[in-house]
A = this chain, B = another copy of it.
């Protein structure tokens, strides 16, 4: 069975996000000044084969923990659905 995982990897809340600050400034310069906070991370989609959703989720979790996310500074969340 083929699954698609939608993964979000974001900087932890305590971590400074200079890129987010720069984008916030840019939005204010564009006149969109009601924006109070901007956080920027990665969105990754994975297409993978697995026998069932449980196996797919376990593989995606391993992929995040071992390669996709820097667990010291980032937190990840994901959803798995049938392709």
Contact = CB atoms under 8 A, between A and B. Distances in A.
B44 A42 contact: no
A44 B32 contact: no
A62 B10 CA distance: 23
Interface residues of A, number: 32
A47 B37 contact: yes
Contacts of A30: 62-63, 66-67
Interface string A43-79: 1111111100000000100110011100000000000
A10 B48 contact: no
Contact of A45 (B9, B39, B49, B68): B39
A35 interface: yes
